[in-house]
Amino acid sequence: MSTAINASTPAPPQTQRLLGKVAVVTGGATGIGESIVRLFHTHGAKVCIADVQDDLGKKLCDSLGDPEN
């Protein structure tokens, strides 16, 4: 049976391989870019979302819930 994974939940410390790193994701508000933002955030990176869709980028930031990352 498969287990659902929530990409917004921080990974356990031993798997936070991007801790202390910074990522700039262009097109990060939707689609593949959004998935990359969520994955990098889960692994501890500080993520900068760059996208022309400001409202969607803001919603994504809010959904991640961690203003430090």
Which domain, by its residues, includes 36? Answer: 16-64
For the whole model, what pTM was predicted?
0.76
58 found inside a domain: yes
9 domain residue, yes or no: no
Asked if residue 45 belongs to a domain, the reply is yes
What is the number of domains present in the chain? 1
User: Mapped to the 3 state alphabet, what secondary structure does the chain carry?
Assistant: CCCCCCCCCCCCHHHCCCCCCEEEEECCCCHHHHHHHHHHHHCCCEEEEECCCHHHHHHHHHHHCCCCC
- The reply to whether 25 falls in a domain is yes
Asked whether residue 33 is domain-assigned, the answer is: yes
Residue 21 falls within a domain, yes or no? yes
Chain segment 1-45, per-residue pLDDT in tens: 555 556 666 666 668 899 999 999 999 999 999 999 999 999 999
- Residue 46 lies inside a defined structural domain of this protein: yes
Q: Shortest CA distance to 28 belongs to which of 1, 54, 2?
A: 54
Q: Which two tokens stand for residue 23?
A: 């990522």
Distance CA 16, CA 32 (A): 21
